[in-house]
Chain A
Amino acid sequence: METDTIAAVATAMSNSGIGIIRISGEESIEVADAIYRNKNNERVLKNYKSNTIHYGFIYDEDEIVDEVMVSVMKKPNSFTMEDTVEVNCHGGILVINRILELIIKRGARLAEPGEFTKRAFLNGRIDLSEAEAVMDIISSKNETALKNSVKQLRGSVHRKISELRNAIIYEIAFIESALDDPEHISLEGYSDKLYDKVNELSYIIEGLLSTSENGRIIKEGIKTVIVGKPNAGKSSLLNLLVGEEKAIVTDIAGTTRDVLEEDIKMNGINLHIIDTAGIRSTEDIIEKIGVERAVQYLQDADLVIYVVDSSVSLDENDFEIMKMIKDKKSIVLFNKSDLNSEISLDELKKFLNNDVIIIRTSTKENTGMDNFEKAVKKLFFSGKIDLDSEILITNLRHKQSLQDALESLNMVKESLKADMPEDFYSIDLMNSYASLGKITGEEISDDLMNEIFSKFCMGK
């Protein structure tokens, strides 16, 4: 446990000049060698002396991911006093994330928050007087990480994982109750049924894993909220961005009554888009709730897209919105440019901050969208809006857990194929259950006993 190989991003994860990924533990050099080659295309890290730095490339199979400098530090000459490799790469978030993912794929484990520091202390690198600080780091970082990881999980994914876990624990409970009470519960013909079941479960996990490539396990990306008064074209915009009809679009003001969420990728940047109900003072109770939520989302947003209906004059509702987005990074879409304008750009500018970008669009005719994309890109790369790096790490962690769960299920299948007795594969089923529980942040505790006693009637 203390010597397995861990990896994490050591610098702040942002679109700045350079990013460093640190790998520590017995297999760190081996792991790094699996993805690094020098300019002569050789995997040579293990031959290098301690405390040396080397130029080369990170590869994903045969594709170059980045040009890097790699430092090798052999134990005890590193921060953790273990074998350590540090990959200095270009600072793009996406690149850093991809390299970290490759490292994990090659056998390192994603470090727990504060784990490098913990190892440094346990291995005697950090002075006794720092112990309190080390403990503080561990406990506070883990607390926030745990909170975020559950918060960031998409509702639909959370549901799916809960369903998977329920299905798995049911099977384990069945097997175990039969093992404990063979005279009351029989396992005859069960293994064939289980094979199909496990196949079905694996398929769902594979599905979750493939969507995770697009960051759909968690609410990843820049939190982008679309606001505007009713019928300004917000839902049309969402549909344009997503490329499919997600939101119901009608001419009737107030159609979107709740909040729709979608993740999209625009020029390699992930946006987590939230389409809100149009903001207006209303007496309709359901619509009112929608409006209140819209206001809440707006307050949490990293980026606000304010859609203005240029075909009607500005009213109380517009002024209310403009007041709310004053201190937010925002882009204003001067929409319905295909119709006659009732307001001018200058008129609008009077009520907005100077640096706000205004773009003429027609979501109906699909014009102005290229300018919109450029504007988002500019904001992102100028660092005015940024990704929460914690989110990327959470995503990686979840993916790792999903992969572990899948692997355990594969082992169950292998055991079933080899005609192994039930008591062998119920262990792997349990591992799969535990891995999935890590995603939803659940302890195993007495789940199995509870399931056995509530679902199966034990004899005696």
Chain B
Amino acid sequence: MFENNDSFVENVDVCVIGAGHAGCEAGLACARLGLETIIFTVSVDSIALMPCNPNVGGSSKGHLVRELDALGGEMGKNIDKTFIQSKMLNISKGPAVHSLRAQADKAEYSRAMRKVLENQEHLTIKQAEVCELIWEDIKDSDKIATKKVTGLKTFTGLIYKCKTVILCTGTYLKARCLCGEAITYTGPNGLQAANHLTDSLLSMGIEMQRFKTGTPARMDKRSIDFSKMEEQFGDEKVVPFSFSTNPEDVQIEQVSCYLTYTNSKTHEIIKNNLDRSPIYAGVIEGTGPRYCPSIEDKVVKFADKERHQVFIEPEGLHTNEMYVAGMSSSLPEDVQLAMYRTVPGLENCKIVRNAYAIEYDCINSKQLYPTLGFKDIEGLYSGGQFNGSSGYEEAAAQGLIAGINAARFIFGKKELTLDRSEAYIGVLIDDLVTKDNFEPYRMMTSRAEYRLLLRQDNADLRLMEKGYEVGLISKLQYDNVIKKKKMIEKEVSRLKNIKIGASKSNQDFLEKHGSAVLKTGTTLAELLCRPELNYEILNELDVGRENLPKDVIEQVEIEIKYEGYIERQLRHVEQFKKMEKKLIPDSLDYDDVLSLRLEARQKLKSFRPVSVGQASRISGVSPADISVLLVYLEQYKRKYNTNGD
């Protein structure tokens, strides 16, 4: 390499490596908090790129975007500006699993985000491959960290000194793409891979692993026969992702998606060519996600299924490219063409971009605190696929938290962690840092044990105060959410106190709405609990009620209708919180806790949980081990007079 000239050393507060969904949120958060921030990307044209599916949100991912928005993130606002179709999923199910999903105009999404970044004060964009982190040793017996990051070096030779670095390298580290026998050493979409950083990270003692994911082909719209498919429309009334978007602004003309199916012919072609698939031939070393199987995986693992759904989704308004959801593959392109052409409507399809699998380096995220800071290296944070997750929304959520905490570290403020009872973001991060993840992690609603509380409709009520404390939510938004909370409380208690007698007119009203007549008097709240009645219907019995905003009414209805369930979860949360609050000091040496079983001791040493609660979620740590740990912590507390609570 070359000698560096010290006069070309730049000084900033924060360096963000990568400008994908995690990097954008991380960089914006730091800059908005007033820190001089620089975002590195291998290509400025790929800022906020969506290299896979053309949508934002979906089951539980929609929750993440809402939460991100309530904390002051950008993704929700950006998709509201650039969506071309939107749907609220699971609308027939409980409110906790309603989830927004929007089709994005990919190019517009990317452009809009780039515009936000380019116009953000304190934020600089820099096209360069980062090849090395600069760090020094530190000695502080009270900390786990033995190193401190102080800057980085680009491949073209510039040095940037900084206080924190946020790694958001996505799928670019030592990336290679596979399509049958053809292997290219690039990142997604043929973009340049980052081939040097991994070695630097390894030399710092960071443990790396290799994951894999895949994407289907994009097709030329003109080659598809949509008459053989079912048209899929967006919702008539679109709900925005962001709490700050005016709902009127998102009532736009929407674009359709289309549904078609694979068939036995498709499956036969796949089966006959499995030996040419790099996965089945054993060429791929990375671990792929089970929730996002390639079409060859589906055909092999679910051999009894006669057909699989295929959604044809537009990639944008100004392109003819269509995304073939449900048929990702790493088979050779000739096989891809043959199999796609067996699908009704795709008989004459032309592939613009072929399907491929991609392998990349990422970390084992147990090396991170729930703040997304590295335990061993002070000032180093990370988010997104680099942490072993998958998905744009998961990445953005982590990017925001990593950004917030990198900034709070510089300010010397207590870092922000969300727990499992507060947000899906909390569940996501806790899972990442507490469990052994053997595949790219995707958010799912079943992962959230308190999901009845973590609804997309109340993300603002849950998190905006935190966003305000952090400094990413304005005073006005904060005041509004406090006002909303008060209105909800007042209305719930009002409904609980309004008595409804068994008068003739009341009984007639109930009969009219197919509801059982009253035996004794009741309250409006109790009537609201009946599945066949709702707030609007009850207007007739509720003379002279105040006109409340729709979002307030929604909360009132949910709170009353599901009160029993919600209260039960709240009780569980109370228990949960007790253990979360019992903190484990960094300096604790598990080898001193003699009564721990060997397996538990090894696990605890390797994960270094921050609280007894987190310790209890590590697999291999039993309730008895937790009891032992509690006794030890009490002893420790009394001995050193530290505050364990």
| Interchain nearest-CB distance for A122 vs B (Å) | 5
A453 at the interface (CB under 8 A from B): yes
Q: Which of B445, B578, B632 contacts A179 (CB 8 A)?
A: B445
B198 at the interface (CB under 8 A from A): no
Q: Which of B308, B444, B449, B451 contacts A457 (CB 8 A)?
A: B308
| Interchain nearest-CB distance for B470 vs A (Å) | 30
Give the distance in Å from the alpha carbon of A78 to the alpha carbon of B618 in the complex: 34
Interface centre among A172, A418, A419, A427 (most CB of B within 10 A): A427
Asked whether, in the complex, the Cβ of A423 is within 8 Å of the Cβ of B594, the reply is no
A positions within 8 Å CB-CB of B: 1-2, 112-115, 118, 121-122, 128, 131-132, 134-136, 138-140, 142-143, 146, 172, 176, 179-184, 187, 418-424, 426-427, 443, 445-446, 448-449, 452-454, 457-460
Give the distance in Å from the alpha carbon of A136 to the alpha carbon of B624 in the complex: 11
| Interchain nearest-CB distance for B413 vs A (Å) | 31
Give the distance in Å from the alpha carbon of A453 to the alpha carbon of B59 in the complex: 16
Would you give the 0/1 interface string for B435-467, flagging 1 where the beta carbon is closer than 8 Å to chain A?
Answer: 100000000111001011000000000000000
The verdict on A139 contacting B625 (CB below 8 Å), with A118-B631, A460-B53 known, is yes
Asked whether, in the complex, the Cβ of A138 is within 8 Å of the Cβ of B94, the reply is no
Across the interface, name the chain A residue whose C-beta is closest to B305: A457
Set of chain A residues within 8 Å of B96, measured between Cβ atoms: 423
B positions within 8 Å CB-CB of A: 53, 59-60, 89-90, 92-94, 96-97, 290-293, 298, 301-302, 305, 308-309, 311, 325-326, 328, 435, 444-446, 449, 451-452, 531, 562, 565, 569, 575, 578-579, 593-597, 619, 622-625, 627-628, 630-632, 634-635, 638-639
Asked whether, in the complex, the Cβ of A128 is within 8 Å of the Cβ of B639, the reply is yes
Report 9 cross-chain contacts, Cβ distance below 8 Å, ordered by A residue.
Answer: A135-B631, A142-B624, A179-B93, A179-B446, A424-B565, A449-B290, A449-B444, A453-B290, A459-B325
The verdict on A131 contacting B631 (CB below 8 Å), with A1-B579, A142-B622, A423-B93 known, is yes
Q: Which of B97, B309, B596 contacts A459 (CB 8 A)?
A: B309
Give the distance in Å from the alpha carbon of A180 to the alpha carbon of B444 in the complex: 6
Asked whether, in the complex, the Cβ of B631 is within 8 Å of the Cβ of A460, the reply is no
Give the distance in Å from the alpha carbon of A138 to the alpha carbon of B531 in the complex: 49
Set of chain B residues within 8 Å of A423, measured between Cβ atoms: 93-94, 96-97, 445, 451-452
Set of chain A residues within 8 Å of B325, measured between Cβ atoms: 459-460
Across the interface, name the chain A residue whose C-beta is closest to B620: A443
The verdict on A139 contacting B451 (CB below 8 Å), with A176-B446, A179-B97, A457-B301 known, is no
Set of chain B residues within 8 Å of A457, measured between Cβ atoms: 293, 298, 301-302, 305, 308
Interface centre among A122, A134, A138, A143 (most CB of B within 10 A): A138
The verdict on A179 contacting B627 (CB below 8 Å), with A128-B635, A142-B622 known, is no
Interface centre among B594, B625, B630 (most CB of A within 10 A): B630
Set of chain B residues within 8 Å of A1, measured between Cβ atoms: 575, 578-579
The verdict on A138 contacting B634 (CB below 8 Å), with A1-B575, A459-B326 known, is no
Q: Which of A2, A132, A452, A460 contacts B326 (CB 8 A)?
A: A460
| Interchain nearest-CB distance for B56 vs A (Å) | 14
Across the interface, name the chain A residue whose C-beta is closest to B529: A418
Give the distance in Å from the alpha carbon of A113 to the alpha carbon of B623 in the complex: 11
Give the distance in Å from the alpha carbon of A131 to the alpha carbon of B632 in the complex: 7
Set of chain B residues within 8 Å of A136, measured between Cβ atoms: 594-595
Q: Which of A131, A179, A418, A459 contacts B634 (CB 8 A)?
A: A131
Set of chain B residues within 8 Å of A114, measured between Cβ atoms: 624, 627
| Interchain nearest-CB distance for B457 vs A (Å) | 14
Tell me whether chain A's interface is mostly helix, strand or loop, or mixed.
Answer: helix
Give the distance in Å from the alpha carbon of A1 to the alpha carbon of B571 in the complex: 11
Across the interface, name the chain B residue whose C-beta is closest to A4: B575
Give the distance in Å from the alpha carbon of A427 to the alpha carbon of B325 in the complex: 30
Asked whether, in the complex, the Cβ of B619 is within 8 Å of the Cβ of A421, the reply is no
Interface centre among B59, B597, B624 (most CB of A within 10 A): B624
Asked whether, in the complex, the Cβ of B619 is within 8 Å of the Cβ of A443, the reply is yes
Give the distance in Å from the alpha carbon of A443 to the alpha carbon of B618 in the complex: 11
Asked whether, in the complex, the Cβ of A445 is within 8 Å of the Cβ of B619, the reply is yes
Give the distance in Å from the alpha carbon of A136 to the alpha carbon of B627 in the complex: 11
Set of chain B residues within 8 Å of A182, measured between Cβ atoms: 59, 89-90, 93
The verdict on A112 contacting B627 (CB below 8 Å), with A420-B94, A453-B290, A458-B292 known, is yes
Set of chain B residues within 8 Å of A427, measured between Cβ atoms: 449, 452, 565, 569
Give the distance in Å from the alpha carbon of A112 to the alpha carbon of B90 in the complex: 42
Q: A135-B632, A146-B622, A449-B444 are in contact. List 7 more A-B contacts (CB 8 A).
A: A1-B575, A1-B578, A1-B579, A112-B627, A138-B595, A179-B93, A449-B290
Set of chain B residues within 8 Å of A445, measured between Cβ atoms: 619
Give the distance in Å from the alpha carbon of A424 to the alpha carbon of B96 in the complex: 9
Give the distance in Å from the alpha carbon of A184 to the alpha carbon of B90 in the complex: 12
The verdict on A112 contacting B623 (CB below 8 Å), with A424-B94, A457-B293, A457-B301 known, is yes
Asked whether, in the complex, the Cβ of A135 is within 8 Å of the Cβ of B59, the reply is no
Asked whether, in the complex, the Cβ of B309 is within 8 Å of the Cβ of A183, the reply is yes
Give the distance in Å from the alpha carbon of A179 to the alpha carbon of B448 in the complex: 13
| Interchain nearest-CB distance for A112 vs B (Å) | 7
Set of chain B residues within 8 Å of A183, measured between Cβ atoms: 89, 309, 311
The verdict on A135 contacting B594 (CB below 8 Å), with A128-B635, A453-B290 known, is yes
Set of chain A residues within 8 Å of B89, measured between Cβ atoms: 182-183
Give the distance in Å from the alpha carbon of A131 to the alpha carbon of B152 in the complex: 48
Set of chain B residues within 8 Å of A112, measured between Cβ atoms: 623-624, 627
Set of chain B residues within 8 Å of A418, measured between Cβ atoms: 531
Set of chain B residues within 8 Å of A420, measured between Cβ atoms: 94, 565
Give the distance in Å from the alpha carbon of A70 to the alpha carbon of B562 in the complex: 43
| Interchain nearest-CB distance for A439 vs B (Å) | 15
| Interchain nearest-CB distance for B50 vs A (Å) | 14
Give the distance in Å from the alpha carbon of A140 to the alpha carbon of B451 in the complex: 37
Set of chain B residues within 8 Å of A458, measured between Cβ atoms: 290-293
Across the interface, name the chain A residue whose C-beta is closest to B450: A427
Set of chain B residues within 8 Å of A184, measured between Cβ atoms: 309
The verdict on A448 contacting B627 (CB below 8 Å), with A1-B575, A182-B89, A459-B326 known, is no
Set of chain A residues within 8 Å of B619, measured between Cβ atoms: 443, 445
Give the distance in Å from the alpha carbon of A392 to the alpha carbon of B53 in the complex: 58
Set of chain B residues within 8 Å of A421, measured between Cβ atoms: 92-94, 97
Q: Which of B435, B445, B449 contacts A180 (CB 8 A)?
A: B445
| Interchain nearest-CB distance for A324 vs B (Å) | 37
Asked whether, in the complex, the Cβ of A448 is within 8 Å of the Cβ of B446, the reply is yes
Set of chain B residues within 8 Å of A460, measured between Cβ atoms: 53, 291-293, 325-326, 328
